[in-house]
Each structure stands twice: as structure tokens, then as C-alpha cells.
Amino acid sequence: MSTVGIKYLFHNHRIEKPRFRLKSVVKKPSSLNYSLKPLRSGGSFCNFKSPLGVRPLRAASSNTELLETKDVFFKETFILKRTEAVEGKISIRLDSGKNGANWQLTVGCNIPGSWVLHWGVSYIGDVGSEWDQPPLEMRPPGSIPIKDYAIETPLKKLSSSAPERDTLYEVTIDFSPNCEIAAIRFVLKDEENGAWHQHRARDFEVPLMDYLCKDDNIVEAKKGFGTWPGTLGKLSNMLLKAEDPKGQDSSSVSGDLNQQIRCIRGFYEEHSIVKQVPVENSVNVSVKKCPETARNLLYLETDLIGDVVVHWGVCRDDNKTWEIPASPHPPETKQFKNKALQTLLQETEEISESKADGHGSWGSFTLDEEVEGFLFVLKLNENTWFRCMGNDFYIPLSDSGSLPAQSRQGQSEGWGKSERVASVPIQISGEAAGAYVVSHTAYTDGIINDIRNLVSDISSEKRQKTKTKEAQESILQEIEKLAAEAYSIFRSSAPTFSEDAILEAEALLPPEKICPGTGSGFEILCQGFNWESNKSGRWYMELNEKVAELSSLGFTVVWLPPPTESVSPEGYMPRDLYNLNSSCMELMPAKLYGSSDELRVLVESFHKVGMKVLGDVVLNHRCAHYQNQNGVWNIFGGRLNWDDRAIVADDPHFQATASAVTISIMSTMIDASSIINASGGSINMAAFTTSVFNDFFQRHEASGRGNKSNGDNFHAAPNIDHSQDFVRKDIKEWLYWLRIKEIGYDGWRLDFVRGFWGGYVKDYMDATQPYFAVGEYWDSLSYTYGEMDHNQDAHRQRIVDWINATNGAAGAFDVTTKGILHSALERCEYWRLSDEKKKPPGVVGWWASRAVTFIENHDTGSTQGHWRFPGGKEMQGYAYILTHPGTPAVFYDHIFSHYRSEIASLISLRNRNKIHCRSVIQITKAERDVYAAIIDKKVAMKIGPGYYEPPNGPQKWHLSLEGKDYKIWETS
């Protein structure tokens, strides 16, 4: 069970390039009134109703007497706080200005907020994707330069006299069509929560001149024939001009091919956007004594929209043990597992003046005089429950005091006078939801609000100019402390039901209370193979003999090699996904790692000792079984017998080149022109050109007929097009088959995730619900003249962007940390291990719960040695990752080597001190020859040849472990 959360990702405003850090995708909330409208000039294109604020509740007429009678001895309003996702649009319009001389780019957003356009330009002749600042005359009023590469311009609120739901926020950029700018690039920044909104996790790019569009982040009008970009566009334009009476000869056609022509086209596009906004509702409770029956009458009313269910019971003493009260019970009441009652509240009439705003609901409960208290929680839907500050709502039924047992704020004179923040919602699913309303995770509500306020404070541009660096560091430290406190509360929460109810609930829910992508947070990962493991043909059986040993060392998760049939013996060139005998039988008859039966036995062995198992799955690419009629390998066999629609259309290694297209078409046109001229005939050039294009692409069929790739190409095999519905459906079924039906994997290691959008990974994770998942996002760090840059924010940002695209459903290997450790240890530059904010400089410093730290794997080490860790310094690396937050991974070759005992001691120390993926770290020293840190105030460590001893004060330190250039201390 998890808390419906305000999951802020704290944006580093000093990164080299802006990246989208937050992407929350949740279902559309029922209590928001939002619908799209057609765009109109000067208006908005959505109907957005702000959910902020609490609507006043009005009692149903039949219950007015209960509210007004003098016999009421208890009245209180509880505020229900939560967040909901508001869906809207980012609009992008490119058109000519009013005077016709200049052009205008207009970017708008239809969700209320404080929006800023973070933008820059690319000039003609620029190489790569770096930004430049635009000329001064191009910058709208209010623009602020950001270093030397970007501009920030606030969006202005239009239609200020209109209601908030008809508001549009826009900014317009004017530019000359004759300028030297090739493209405008931007992201939209939300100042309220620090989120960056991008296009498919990359910067928006608006081209201002024709060229071959290779990136799918380019936004512009869809093109038909006659408006092709680049060389083909110029060619088609010239062919169409052939119908002009004046005409042109073939020499002019070939000459114009080398000219660079600017051709700006107007367009309009909309892109979906999701923003988390705070929502407040309330629940009012009053209790009166009925003089005729001496019973207590309790009235409950809420402005929550929808079918609201009260999960309730009574207690007879201060222990607040739930009991089912004697009848009568309200209508629409049913019993839940002999522990409580569930009552569907009745719709309140005329709760608001606008029928569109919906109705609230109410309920009336008659309770015996000897009952001491009324206990309840509110259920809004199957996944959302409300509770009071982490506890069940408790209403005292004794009239000895006019105040609630949990509040002494002064007596309420009327509705709304005594208000308390009651709850954020809790996500619970399945039949056990009712039993789990007792969880304490909602205690973190106040802490989350504190974090939100601190984040807003530090991210304010105006405050940044006046706040000292020390003050900002203080705020960041406070955020970290609050987050750690919230996590500690979550870990130590305990139910308040009876022991029987707890056991019953545990039987209904999975045994692990996990966070997607990170398991329990205490995982230690073992890579259970190397690059040579396939050669024995019986690796599964060999590893099975080491299961007990790996468990005794303290590992909780093991990562196994790819199980599917593969063209390469290591398994990373998969072919038939449902064949689990590991090799392409025509090329390599041996079963390499072993058979599917042996794999099942191995997984069962790990499960028996309490270890989870990750399957290594290659989702980015797949090798075909057959060639098509043109000799292209693009037809698949086996159970997933896809055709070329499953392959991306723009992999340069698996399609005809643009030059080949141009030369072939030009040759065809010249030949045809010669024949026509010789015969003295005439032809419709537009129709003829269309025919030539169609014929060419039928004869020179590319490898794939899918959509353009949304990631990097693998080169050795064609990238799969995950945007195809049938591809995603088949992959989800295959993963489910591996996890549930055939093998029993607990999670996934995802190969080469740079090749496809992380949003598809979220889809696959949602379908398979893994205990733990980690993706391999490996690209180059930043170097200048061969030397690694100190600031690697841009590199870790790319990894965080991918994790964000998965909605946090998977973590990622912290390649940034590995690279920085390389330079720090190899060059004795331990100062590299602290960033400008005195935090770890890798992904673990920004999103520790999703960072899987490592120093070596089958690619970087083993017999491949693509990026081998500095020799003789491996234990310094393990002393770092096994004492720091994040989830550490240990390579198989190191476990079964002379490092075994040292690694085992470090794992034991980590488990003994309960260091987890979110542990709090304080870097105490980062100098040329030494790095030192204190973790959770329980463990101190240092690596490097330099001197360091932890300071003695209230904490007394003793040396626990020592090796070559590393030491570890624990508190006494």
C-alpha cells in the first residue's frame, strides 16, 4: 500500500540543459470539471475549473433540525487535502505577423499556473543540439537570460476579466524570416512545482527552415506531397513547376538541388500536459442526544463528489477497538468481514447553485448510549481512502465535553469554525482495502506540505536573487531531513486493528509492501553471471549450487542473463522470444545457459532462500527470421511472427539512404523526360512524379514500415517500434508469461533502454507489476579535451528524464556515479565526489530511490572490458556504493574473487545499520586525496589515501572495517 503522493522531484536550476523532471500520469479525476473547447482568437481552448478551496456545505432540508438544535454537543469540520491530475494542452502556433514582415511563434498553456518558457535557438550551420541565446530584438519583454545559452520568458495571462477556467497563458516571439536562425528550442517550466514539460522527454524544436527531419521532437505541420522537407522537398517543388508554361530545363533542376532555400510554413499543434494540483474538500460531523430515546444521533456530510462510502464502526473504551454496532443501520449498509460496516452516503440535494458542480453526500447514524466513540474512514473510490492525520476518524459520543477527543481548539460556534487538516488520500487496491484503512502512512501529510513549501521557496527566481547560498543549502538540508522523517514514519507504521484483522489483511495482500522500481528499499543486487557464463552450456545448474552461499552473503536480489533464443551466444540479440533454450539452434545447437526447465529450478531455489530474481529482457531490438523479396531481414518467425510494421522506419543501418533515394528518382525523371521529349508528347508532371515516388519505395523497401524511432538506434539489430499497439500488446503478454506462468521472475533488468521512450516501459511495468526493475541507460559522460568535466548534471539529467518517463516504475543504473568514481580514484581527484550542493554527483544525489549503483558488469568488465574499473581500487568503489543510498549492485566476478570477504563484511555492515536506498548522507570532506561522508548518523566512511577521522561528540565512533585506502566507522 502506498500514499497518493506529492512526488516532487527537486529540479537543479544549474544544469547545462533543461530537462523535464516531473511527469505524473494518473487517471482523470472525477471531481474536476474539464472539457476541451475549439480554439478561438484571444480565448482559451479548455474548460478548466480550479479545484482549489473548499466549497461551503449546505445541509439537506430534512436534516436542518439536527444542525440547529441546541442538543448538539459535538460539531467539527475536517479538511480533506489531496492532489489531483488536471489535463490540459500546450499549444504551439507559427504564423506570419500582422504586418506580414515578421513571423511569430506563440506558445500557450490552458492550465492555470505560473508558466515560464525556457528557450533558446540554433543557428544555421550549428552541429549538435546545444542551445544559443537569441538576438536581443527577438526577446519578448520580461525575458531573463540564463547563463549564456537560454532565455526564460514568463507566459502572460490573457482574458484577465474571464473566469479562471477560460484563461489562456501565452507568450509570443517575433522574428524576421531572413534571420540566421535554423530552429527555436524550448521547454515549458512550471514555477509552482518546478516541473519541466517536454515533448516525448526531449526539448520542443520548431524548425524555421527546410531540412530532413530526423528527430521526433520537431513540431510542425504535417506535410503532404509537394511540401517535402530538404532535398526531396525541393525536388518535388521543381517537378511541379514543370507544368508552368515558362518551364525549366534539366540543368536548372540539377543546379537548384544544391541551393539552400528557407521555406517557413505556418502550423498549429497541441500537446497534452498533466499537472498535479492541490484539492481541498471537507467532511462535517455533528452529534446530538435524542431526548426521546437517549440515543446519540450522528450526522455526517461531505462535499466529495461521487459515490462516497463510510467504512465505520464503534468502540466502547479508550482502546478504540472497532466493533459492529447494534441495528438499526442506515440504508445502503453492508457488513465487511465481521469487522466493520460500509454505508453508501446519500446524495445531498441543492448542495451548490450549479448542477454541473455536482452534489455532495450525507448520512445519519443512530448509536446506543453506552458506545464511547464512532470510528470511520471515507472511501472515495477503490483506490482512495481518507483518514484523519494517519489515524481513523474518531468522534466521541459522550456529551461531557463539547470538544473532540483529539482536539482542544475551542468550541465551534458553527460549521467551519473548528477546522482541522484531516487527510491526504491513501491508495489501496483489492479486497483488503477496507482492512488496511488503519495504516499510518498518511502521517506524512504535514511533512509533505513542509517539503512543498520549502521547494517553492528555493525555486522562486526572485528569492534566489536575494537569498544567500548558505540559506539555500539550509533549505535543501531541511528538505532532506523531512523526506527522511516521512520515510521513517512509513517504515515504522503499525495498524490499529486487532491482531486477527492484521493477519487477515496480510493474507489478502502480497507479503511485500513495495515501492515500484525500488522494492522495499533495502535491496542488495547480485549480478549472477559474466560475459563467459554461456560457454559451459550448464550455467543455470552451476549457479544453482551457489544459491545458499549468495543468500548467506546478504544478497536479496539476483540478476540472471537473458533467457531467450538469440543470434549471439550471450543472449542480447533475441530472435524467438518464447524459445527459452537460449540460442539460435541453426547456428549454435548448444543450449548455452541451460534449458527452460533448469531455469525454473534455479528460480525456485532462489525463492526458497528468500531472494528475488530479475530476468534480463531485451525489448529494444529483435533479430528477424526471414528476408523479404528484396533481401531485407525484416520478417519474424516463432509465436510473435511480426512483419516489417514492427520495425522503426528511420534506422539508418536498415534502410536506403536519402542520397540513394534522390539519385534513383532523379535518374528515373531524366530518363522519362528524354523519352517524352523524343516522342514530342506531353505528361501531367504531378501525377507522374507521384507514380515515380510510389514505384521507388515499392522496389527499394526499407527495413521497417513502422513509425520513426523515439530513441537511439542499436545498430547491430533493427529497433522495434513500440508505438505500434500490436507490438506493445505482444510484449506485455510475453513479459506476463515469463513472470507469472512460465518462469516466476520477480522483476526485470531492461537492456538498452536508450532506444525507446520510457513511457512504454511504464506500460510494461503496469502490466507485470514487478517487485524491482532497473533499466540500462548508458551513454557518454561530458568531457573537455579528454578530461572529464566536474559538472555531470547534464548526464545524470538524461538518466533521470528516462526514469521520469517511466513514472518512476523502474530505476536505472547510475552510470554517472560509476564514471565519476573512475576519474576520482584513477587520478586521485576525490573532490569530484561532491557536487556544487555538497551532494553525491550522480543519479544517487538527485533520485536515490531509483539509482542502482555499480562499479562493474558483464559489459564494462569481464572479458569484454569496455570500461573497466580502475585496477586495485575496486574495494574503494564498493566501500562507496555499499555505504551510500541507492541500491548497490555487486558483480559476479568480484563476489567469487579475493574480494569476497571484504564485500561480505560491507554487506553485513549495510544490513546491520539498515542503510537503505533513501538513507540521508552528509558529505564531510571532498578534497584531492580523500572523500568522507556520514550516512544516517550511524555510519562514517572515507576512501582515498588522505587522512580523515569522524568527529567525536554526542556520537562515539569506532572503526569497524579497514582496507586499502578505505575505512568504515559505526556509532557505539
The catalytic site residues sit at 751, 776
Alpha-carbon span 911 to 920, nearest angstrom: 15
Contact at 8 Å (CB) between 39 and 88? no
Angle at 725 between CA 724 and CA 727, to 5 degrees: 70
3-state secondary structure of 463: helix
Contact at 8 Å (CB) between 532 and 543? no
Q: Residue 500: what residue type?
A: D
3-class DSSP string for 44-62: CCEEECCCCCCCCCCCCHH
Contact at 8 Å (CB) between 342 and 332? no
Contact at 8 Å (CB) between 918 and 849? yes
Alpha-carbon span 326 to 580, nearest angstrom: 60
* Burial of residue 520, with CB atoms counted within 10 A of its CB: 0-12 exposed, 13-18 middle, 19 or more buried: middle
Alpha-carbon span 124 to 262, nearest angstrom: 11
Alpha-carbon span 724 to 275, nearest angstrom: 27
C-alpha cell at 178: 531572413
C-alpha cell at 932: 568522507
Q: At which residue does the C-alpha cell 527537486 appear?
A: 10
Alpha-carbon span 158 to 227, nearest angstrom: 34
CA nearest neighbour of 884 among 856, 911, 920: 920
Alpha-carbon span 442 to 489, nearest angstrom: 9
CA nearest neighbour of 621 among 569, 563, 573: 573
Q: What is the DSSP-derived secondary structure letter of residue 662?
A: H
- CA dihedral in degrees (203, 207, 210, 215; nearest 10)? 10
C-alpha cell at 785: 579535451
3-class DSSP string for 794-829: HHHHHHHHHHHHCCCCCEEECHHHHHHHHHHHHCCC
CB atoms within 10 A of CB 354: 8
3-state helix, strand, coil in the chain (%, to 5): 25, 25, 50
DSSP letters spanning 245-276: SS---HHHHHHHTT--------EEEEEEEEEE
Q: Return all residues near 520 (Cβ < 8 A) that are at least 6 apart.
A: 512, 513, 514, 916
CB atoms within 10 A of CB 523: 23
Q: Is the dihedral of CA 969, 932, 963, 892 positive or negative?
A: positive
Strand partners, 76: 285
Q: At which residue does the C-alpha cell 562493474 appear?
A: 856
- CA dihedral in degrees (883, 887, 892, 895; nearest 10)? 20
Alpha-carbon span 432 to 505, nearest angstrom: 6
Q: At which residue does the C-alpha cell 490552458 appear?
A: 110
CA nearest neighbour of 933 among 874, 873, 880: 880
Taking each helix axis as running N to C, give the angle between helix 445-459 and helix 469-492, from 0 to 180 degrees, rounded to the nearest 10. Answer: 160
3-class DSSP string for 749-769: EECCHHHCCHHHHHHHHHHHC
CA nearest neighbour of 118 among 171, 172, 169, 188: 188
